[in-house]
Amino acid sequence: MSAENKNENTENETDGKSEKKGGKRPHQRAPKQEKKAASQDGINVDLEERVVAVNRVAKVVKGGRRFSFAALIVVGDKNGKVGYGLGKAKEVPDAIRKAGMKASKRMIKVSIENGTIPHEVLGLFGAGEVLLKPAGDGTGIKAAGACRSILELAGVKNVLTKSVRGSNPHNIVKATFHALKSLRSLEEVANVRGVNSKGLRMKAKASKA
C-alpha cells in the first residue's frame, strides 16, 4: 500500500508541475504577441519609399574585416507629407527596413499651392545648399538625385531647383528638408500678420503684373 501511495503522490506532483508549466507559458507569450501586432499596425501605412544612398562600412578587427551597411531612405505619400531616415545593420535589407521605420516617424507637412511651392526658398545644412523656386504648370520637377526623390514623394508637380554647393547625399537631403520646413503658405503668413489673406493675394498679383 505504501508503494502505491508513493506512486500516486509522484504522479500527482508531476501532473501539478506540468499544469504549472502549461499555465505559465501563455501568460509569458501573450504580451509579446500584442507588442508585435502593435508594431506591425504602426508600420503598415500607405507610403512610398525610395533608396537615396547605401554606404558600406568596414571595421578591421583581429580576425579580419566586419562589414555593415547604412541606408538613407526617403518616404512620402505624394500628398504633402514626406520624411527621411538613416538605418544601419549587418545586411542591406535590414538597414533599409530600419531606415523606412525611422522615416515614417519623422514626416513633415509641406506647403503646396497649385502643384508648386508657395515661394522661393534656400535650404542649408553643413556644406549642402539647395535653392527651390516655384514654377508654372507643365514645367515638371527640374531636379536630380535625392532632391528629386524628395519633391516627387512630397507631391510637388512643378518646381525649379539648383544645388548651389555640396554633393554629399546626406547634406543634400537635409538641406532640402530645411528648405521645405521653411515654406509658409499665404494663409499662414496672413494669420501671423493678422491680415485677411485676400488682401495679400491682391498685392501678390499686383506685384507680379
**Per-residue b or e along 110-139, where b marks 16 or more CB atoms closer than 10 Å to that residue's CB:** bbbeebbbbbebebbbeebbbebbbbeeee
Contacts of 42 (CB under 8 A, 6+ apart): none
Q: List the pLDDT tens digit at each of the 209 positions of the chain.
A: 455 555 555 555 555 554 444 555 555 554 444 444 334 434 435 788 999 999 999 999 988 999 999 999 999 998 889 999 999 999 999 999 999 999 999 899 998 888 899 889 999 998 999 999 999 889 999 998 889 999 999 999 999 999 998 889 999 999 999 999 999 887 777 777 777 766 666 555 555 55
Residues 96/71, Cβ–Cβ less than 8 Å:
yes
Predicted TM-score of the model (pTM): 0.71
Distance CA 207, CA 41 (A): 49
56: cell is 558600406
Nearest to 103, CA basis, from 35, 151, 150, 143: 150
Bridge partner list, 89:
69
Upper half-sphere CA count for residue 26 (Cβ side, 13 Å): 4
